[in-house]
Amino acid sequence: MPDFAWRAASAAGKIEEGRLSASSSAAVVKLLRERGMTPLRVDDVAVAGVNAALPEGGGVLAASKARHAKGPVTAADVLALTAELAIMLRAGLALDNALRVLIDMSHKPSLAVLVQGILDAVKGGTPLSRALAARRDLFGDFYINMVRSGEVSGQMSAVLDRLVEHMERQRALRDSVISATIYPAILLGVAVLSLIAMLGFVVPQFEKLFSDMGDALPLPTRLVMVMGQAFTNYGLVIGVGVVIAVALLMRWLKSPIGRQWWQARLLRLPIVGRIALKYQLTLFSRSLGTLLGNGVPMLTALHIATETVGNMVLRQALARIAPIVKEGGKVVQAISVTGIFEPLAVNLIRVGEETGRIGSMMLELSNILNRDVETGIKRLLTLVEPVLILVLGVLIAAIIVSILLGILSINDLAV
pLDDT of residue 190: 83
Name the pLDDT band for 5 (thresholds 50, 70, 90): confident
**pLDDT tens profile 114-137:** 989 998 998 888 888 889 988 888
Taking only the tens place, the pLDDT of each residue in 386-410 is 888 888 888 888 888 888 887 887 7
191, 382 contact by CB (below 8 A): no
* CA distances to 75, 143, 327, 381 from 138, in Å: 8, 9, 33, 34
CA distances to 167, 278, 342 from 338, rounded to whole Å, are 27, 14, 11
pLDDT for the residue numbered 381: 78
8 Å CB contact between 316 and 325: no
pLDDT attached to residue 12: 62
Calculate ∠ Cα 94-95-96, nearest 5°: 95
- Residues 181, 272: contact at Cβ < 8 Å? no
Question: What digits encode the pLDDT tens for the residues 28-45?
Answer: 777 877 777 777 777 776
Tell whether pTM > 0.85: no
Q: What is the largest CA-CA distance in the chain?
A: 99
Q: Average pLDDT for residues 165-176, to the nearest whole number?
A: 81
Q: In CATH terms, is domain 60-169 a member of 3.40.1160.10?
A: no
Give kind and range of the element (H or E) at residue 80: helix 75-90
Over residues 303-326, the mean pLDDT reads 88
More confident residue, 371 or 15: 371
The Cα 52–Cα 40 span in angstroms is 11
* Contact indicator for 164, 59 with CB cutoff of 8 Å: yes
Which of the two residues, 210 and 377, has the higher pLDDT score? 377
**What is the rounded distance in angstroms from the CA atom of residue 395 to the CA atom of residue 401?**
10
**pLDDT tens digits, one per residue of 324-367:** 999 988 989 899 888 899 898 899 999 998 898 898 899 899 88
189-202 residue pLDDT tens: 888 888 888 888 88
Confidence of residue 244 (pLDDT cuts 50, 70, 90): very high
Q: Please give the residue that has the higher pLDDT: either 402 or 2.
A: 402
Helices 58-65 and 75-90 cross at an angle (nearest 10°) of: 150
Cβ neighbour number for residue 291 with a 10 Å cutoff: 28
Residue-level pLDDT at 277:
92
Per-residue pLDDT tens over the stretch 58-112: 444 434 444 444 678 888 888 888 888 888 888 778 888 888 888 877 778 888 8
Report the distance separating Cα 112 and Cα 103, nearest Å: 5
pLDDT digits (tens, 9 = 90+) for 185-234: 888 888 888 888 888 888 887 777 777 666 667 888 888 888 888 888 88
- For the chain, percent helix, then strand, then coil, each to nearest 5? 75, 5, 20
Q: What are the tens digits of pLDDT across the range 245-269?
A: 999 999 998 888 998 899 899 999 8
Phi, psi of 22 (to 5 degrees): -155, 170
Q: How far apart are CA 27 and CA 52, in angstroms?
A: 11
Measure CA of the first residue to CA of the last residue in the chain; give whole Å.
90
Per-residue pLDDT of 263-302, as tens digits, reads 899 999 888 899 889 988 988 888 888 888 878 889 988 9
Domain locations in the chain as residue ranges: 3-58, 60-169, 184-415
- Across 49-53, 161-165, 216-220, the highest mean pLDDT is recorded for 161-165
Which residues, other chains included, contact 408 with Cβ-Cβ below 8 Å and sequence gap of 6+? none
